[in-house]
Chains A and B, each alone.
Chain A
Amino acid sequence: MKPIYILGISAFYHDSAACLLENDRIVAAAQEERFTRIKHDFSFPINSIKFCLEYGNINVGQLDYIVFYEKPFLKFERLIETHIYYAPKSLTQFIQSMPIWLKERIFIKNIIKKEIEENLNEKLNPKTKILFVPHHLSHAASAFFPSPFEISSILTIDGVGEWATATLGIGEKNKIHFFYELKFPSSLGLLYSSFTYYTGFKVNDGEYKLMGLAPYGNPFSETTKKYIKLIKEKLIVIKGDGSFKLNMNFFTFTTSCKMVNEKKWIELFEIPPRKPESEILQEYADMAYAIQKVLEEILIKMARHLKNLSKQKYLVMAGGVALNCVANSKLLEEKLFEDIWVQPAATDAGGAIGAAYAVYHIFLGKERICSEKDKMEGCFLGPKYSIYEIEKVLKKYPNIYYQKEENFDKLCYKVANLIARKNVIGWFVGRMEFGPRALGARSILADARDAEMQKRINLKIKFREGFRPFAPSVLYEDMKEYFIFDKPSPYMLFTAPICKERRNKLPEDYFSWSIKDKLYFLKSDIPAVTHVDFSARIQTVHKEENYKFWKLIKNFKEVTNCSVVVNTSLNVKDEPIVCTPEDAIKTYLKTEMDYLILENYIVSKRKNE
Chain B
Amino acid sequence: MELKNLKNLKIIWRTFLFYLLIFQFLFLITHNKIFLFILLSFILIGILFPNFPEYLYQFGFFVGEINTKFILFLIFYFIICPISFIRKFIKRKFVGKEETFWEKIDFKIEKENFEKMG
Residues of A within 8 A of B (CB): 67, 71-74, 77, 83-88, 91, 94-95, 98-99, 108-109, 129, 131-134, 137, 164, 167-168, 175-183, 186, 239, 241, 243-245, 305, 358-359, 362-363, 365
Q: Are A95 and B101 in contact (CB under 8 A)?
A: no
Q: How many residues of B contact A (CB 8 A)?
A: 27
Beyond A88-B77, A95-B72, A167-B105, whether A73 also contacts B100 by CB under 8 A is no
Beyond A77-B118, A245-B101, whether A134 also contacts B107 by CB under 8 A is yes
13 A-B pairs with C-beta separation under 8 A: A72-B117, A77-B118, A84-B80, A85-B84, A85-B87, A87-B80, A87-B83, A95-B69, A95-B76, A175-B109, A180-B104, A182-B102, A241-B102
Can you list, as one digit per residue, whether each of B86-118 has a CB less than 8 Å from chain A (1) or not (0)? 010000000000111111110101010011111
Q: List B contacts of A108 (CB < 8 A).
A: 117
Q: List B contacts of A241 (CB < 8 A).
A: 100, 102
Residue among B69, B102, B107, B115 with max Cβ neighbours from chain A (10 Å): B102
The docked-state distance in angstroms from the alpha carbon of A178 to that of B107 is 9
The docked-state distance in angstroms from the alpha carbon of A63 to that of B77 is 46
From A88, A176, A178, contact of B81 by CB (8 A)? A88
Residues of B within 8 A of A (CB): 68-69, 72-73, 76-77, 80-81, 83-84, 87, 98-105, 107, 109, 111, 114-118
B86 to A, closest residue via Cβ: A84
The docked-state distance in angstroms from the alpha carbon of A177 to that of B108 is 9
Q: List B contacts of A239 (CB < 8 A).
A: 98-101
Q: Are A129 and B115 in contact (CB under 8 A)?
A: yes
Q: Are B103 and A180 in contact (CB under 8 A)?
A: yes
Q: Are B109 and A182 in contact (CB under 8 A)?
A: no
A108 to B, closest residue via Cβ: B117
The docked-state distance in angstroms from the alpha carbon of A168 to that of B16 is 57
Distance in angstroms from B69 CB to nearest chain A CB is 5
Q: List A contacts of B103 (CB < 8 A).
A: 180-183
Q: List A contacts of B118 (CB < 8 A).
A: 71-74, 77
Q: Are B72 and A94 in contact (CB under 8 A)?
A: yes
A88 to B, closest residue via Cβ: B81
Interface of A is mostly: mixed
From A175, A180, A186, contact of B105 by CB (8 A)? A180
Beyond A180-B102, A180-B103, A243-B101, whether A137 also contacts B117 by CB under 8 A is no
The docked-state distance in angstroms from the alpha carbon of A109 to that of B117 is 8
Q: List A contacts of B100 (CB < 8 A).
A: 239, 241, 243
The docked-state distance in angstroms from the alpha carbon of A359 to that of B109 is 11
Q: Are A87 and B81 in contact (CB under 8 A)?
A: yes
A140 to B, closest residue via Cβ: B109
* Inter-chain pairs besides A87-B80, A134-B107, A186-B101, 16 sampled, C-beta below 8 Å: A71-B118, A85-B84, A87-B84, A88-B76, A88-B81, A91-B73, A91-B77, A95-B73, A98-B72, A109-B117, A129-B115, A167-B105, A180-B102, A181-B102, A239-B100, A358-B114
Q: List A contacts of B77 (CB < 8 A).
A: 88, 91
From A132, A176, A186, contact of B114 by CB (8 A)? A132
Q: Are B76 and A94 in contact (CB under 8 A)?
A: yes
The docked-state distance in angstroms from the alpha carbon of A94 to that of B75 is 10
A103 to B, closest residue via Cβ: B68
Beyond A181-B103, A182-B103, A239-B100, whether A94 also contacts B80 by CB under 8 A is yes
The docked-state distance in angstroms from the alpha carbon of A176 to that of B99 is 26
Residue among B77, B100, B111 with max Cβ neighbours from chain A (10 Å): B100
Distance in angstroms from B98 CB to nearest chain A CB is 8
Q: List B contacts of A168 (CB < 8 A).
A: 102
Q: Are B105 and A178 in contact (CB under 8 A)?
A: yes
A302 to B, closest residue via Cβ: B102
Q: Are A84 and B101 in contact (CB under 8 A)?
A: no
Distance in angstroms from A33 CB to nearest chain B CB is 20
Distance in angstroms from A173 CB to nearest chain B CB is 14
The docked-state distance in angstroms from the alpha carbon of A362 to that of B111 is 7
Q: List A contacts of B101 (CB < 8 A).
A: 182, 186, 239, 243-245
Distance in angstroms from B5 CB to nearest chain A CB is 12
Q: Are B102 and A84 in contact (CB under 8 A)?
A: no
Residue among A77, A85, A175, A358 with max Cβ neighbours from chain B (10 Å): A85
The docked-state distance in angstroms from the alpha carbon of A178 to that of B108 is 9
The docked-state distance in angstroms from the alpha carbon of A260 to that of B107 is 32
Q: List B contacts of A175 (CB < 8 A).
A: 109
Q: List B contacts of A177 (CB < 8 A).
A: 109
Q: Are A131 and B114 in contact (CB under 8 A)?
A: yes
Q: Are A363 and B102 in contact (CB under 8 A)?
A: no
Q: List B contacts of A71 (CB < 8 A).
A: 116-118
From B80, B81, B109, B116, contact of A362 by CB (8 A)? B109
The 3 closest A-B pairs by CB, nearest first: A73-B118, A243-B101, A87-B84
Residue among B72, B100, B117 with max Cβ neighbours from chain A (10 Å): B117
B99 to A, closest residue via Cβ: A239
Beyond A129-B115, A180-B103, A239-B99, whether A137 also contacts B109 by CB under 8 A is yes
The docked-state distance in angstroms from the alpha carbon of A562 to that of B116 is 55
Q: List B contacts of A243 (CB < 8 A).
A: 100-102
Distance in angstroms from B68 CB to nearest chain A CB is 6
Distance in angstroms from A206 CB to nearest chain B CB is 27
Q: Are B117 and A73 in contact (CB under 8 A)?
A: yes
Q: List A contacts of B105 (CB < 8 A).
A: 164, 167, 178-181
The docked-state distance in angstroms from the alpha carbon of A179 to that of B80 is 34
The docked-state distance in angstroms from the alpha carbon of A91 to that of B114 is 33
Q: List A contacts of B107 (CB < 8 A).
A: 134
Q: List B contacts of A86 (CB < 8 A).
A: 84
Distance in angstroms from B113 CB to nearest chain A CB is 8
The docked-state distance in angstroms from the alpha carbon of A137 to that of B104 is 15
Distance in angstroms from A485 CB to nearest chain B CB is 32
The docked-state distance in angstroms from the alpha carbon of A108 to that of B104 is 28
Beyond A88-B76, A88-B77, A91-B76, whether A363 also contacts B69 by CB under 8 A is no
Q: List B contacts of A359 (CB < 8 A).
A: 114
Beyond A176-B109, A180-B105, whether A83 also contacts B80 by CB under 8 A is yes
Distance in angstroms from B105 CB to nearest chain A CB is 4
The docked-state distance in angstroms from the alpha carbon of A489 to that of B32 is 80
The docked-state distance in angstroms from the alpha carbon of A167 to that of B73 is 36
Distance in angstroms from A345 CB to nearest chain B CB is 22
The docked-state distance in angstroms from the alpha carbon of A67 to that of B115 is 9
B102 to A, closest residue via Cβ: A180
A97 to B, closest residue via Cβ: B72
